[in-house]
Amino acid sequence: MKLPGKRGKKSLLALMSLLAVLAILINWSVDSLRSQNLRRIEEFRRIVAAEGFTTFTTRVISERSPNLYPLHELSAVVLNFRLLPLHSAVEQTVAEREELLDAAIAEFQDSPPPLAIQHDAGSMRFPWLLDVLNAQNHWKKSAEDHWKAGEFSRAIDRWQQILEINESLSVGGSSSCEMVRCYTIREFNSWLVERIPKLTDADLEKCQSILSRIEPPGEGLARIVVEESLNLFERVQDLDPEDPLLDGSTFLALDVKVFLDRVLPWASAPGSEQGMASLRKPAPFWSPFVKFTGYTQFIEFVELEAARLKSLRHGLTAYLAMRQGDSWDPPDGIEMKSSGGTIWIHVTGASGEADCYLPDVTTSRQQVELKPGGDR
């Protein structure tokens, strides 16, 4: 075996020395980045005035506006319908279903508000969401049956109960729960717009009241960003074994930095264009966590639903005013046109997908007057 020469030994020693220096520099750089992240995490907590996830979400519940639907535990709804598929093999009479729905909503409304929004559901969150959706489907089936029977006011009552339950998805503490909440609001909006010509002024005023008690999607977006950020920061700080080289938060240091680069500017000005642009900023390829959990698509969905809800609210106000022979001037940020038997409401700056199209008031009045039977 040929031993390395003196020059080879020197080269090997130099290489090992270089690697050692690089390892020290990398360790120092990453540890410095990790320390910087921890300081910025504290800055985020200071801006949102919350020590952590539980502190913030407890405040969300206690400070919820009394004008909105109150938050309740969803267990009464979930447990009553978990084992009851929409199309059960067992015959279920309409009376039995209505009795079950009435009992479930009464139990739900009597339940206390949650003490805090839960963030530790983990893998249980998805099946829990499916249980809530299954329960809502029973209410939707009831609403449709009442509508077909001409019991329009009763159908609206069922939708009101759906949306009241839906608001308590806020206790889910995740963007998934918020997207389901927004999607259910969209379903009601579509359901209502299709049926406006057959509804009386009293029905429409009831619908206005329902919509006014829903948390605007934009506010839900702000809540979710803070909740998920605080949750992430707590999880990162829990990963702190003695050896920094094996520290999970060290391996996540670059990801956490990229995440902070987006949420910190937003937290300083959550309603501004600059803040939203910061959240939308695409993640670099070397930041897989932010790339796969970014807010871009979530923001686009929520902003569309926020504009859709806003256009419908103003559309109902305009429609009722015209029905009653009054004038209505759109406020700042709302555009209105009336032509070809259609009232068009647009939120300035929003996508055309959020526009609200309502039928001609004269045609609508005739349909209400000629409507047969039902609960009128």
> Do the domain assignments include residue 248?
yes
Tokens of 157: 């009552």
- Residue 214 and residue 341 in one domain: yes
Distance CA 309, CA 154 (A): 22
Query: What residue spans of 196-216 are helical by DSSP H?
Result: 201-212
Residue 1 belongs to some domain of the structure: no
Shared domain for 68 and 170, answered yes or no, is yes
Domain count, the chain: 2
Are the beta carbons of 315 and 345 closer than 8 angstroms? Answer: yes
Q: Answer for the pair 240, 249: CB distance below 8 angstroms, yes or no.
A: yes
CA distance 269 to 293: 21
Q: Which residues lie closer than 8 Å to 224 by C-beta, 6 or more apart?
A: 173, 174, 175, 178, 298
Tell me: do 199 and 73 sit in the same domain: yes
pTM value is 0.82
Say if 6 falls within a structural domain: no
Whether residue 136 lies inside any domain: the answer is yes
Residue 25 lies in a domain: no
Map residue 118 onto helix, strand or coil.
Answer: coil
Residues 308 and 191 in one domain: yes
Residues 147 and 107 in one domain: yes
What distance in Å separates the CA atoms of residue 31 and residue 35, rounded to the nearest whole number?
A: 6
Distance of CA 239 to the CA centre of its chain: 28
| DSSP code of residue 215 | P
Q: Which domain holds residue 248?
A: 30-51+223-294
Q: Which of 294, 315, 337 is the last residue of a domain?
A: 294
Helices marked H in 90-174: 94-110, 125-148, 152-167
**Do residues 177 and 287 share a domain?**
no
Evaluate whether residue 10 is within a structural domain.
no
Alpha carbon 342 to chain centroid distance?
31
Nearest Cα neighbor of 176 from 135, 139, 246, 227 is 227
Do 167 and 71 meet the contact criterion of CB atoms below 8 Å apart? yes
Q: How many other C-beta atoms are found inside a 10 Å radius of the C-beta of residue 191?
A: 17
> 270 and 333 share a domain?
no
What does DSSP assign to residue 342? E
> Same structural domain for residues 246 and 318?
no
**Based on the domain organization, do 155 and 202 belong to the same domain?**
yes
Please report whether residue 65 resides in a domain.
yes
Of 231, 259, 294, which residue sits at a domain end? 294
Tell me: do 125 and 205 sit in the same domain: yes
| Residue where one domain finishes, among candidates 268, 294, 320 | 294
- 70 and 200 assigned to the same domain: yes
**Residue 215 token pair:** 């948390």
- The one-letter amino acid code at 332 reads D
Query: Would you write out the chain's pLDDT as a tens digit for each of its 376 residues?
Result: 455 556 666 676 666 766 666 666 665 566 778 888 889 999 999 999 998 888 898 888 889 999 999 988 777 677 766 656 655 544 567 888 888 889 888 888 888 887 666 555 544 455 678 888 888 888 999 999 999 999 999 999 999 999 999 998 877 667 888 899 999 999 999 999 999 999 999 999 999 999 999 999 989 999 989 988 998 888 877 765 444 443 445 567 888 888 999 999 999 988 788 889 999 888 887 777 776 666 888 899 999 999 999 999 999 999 999 998 898 899 999 999 888 788 999 999 999 999 999 987 765 554 444 343 444 3
Residues 243 and 94 in one domain: no
For residue 245, give the nearest of 23, 15, 63 by alpha carbon.
23
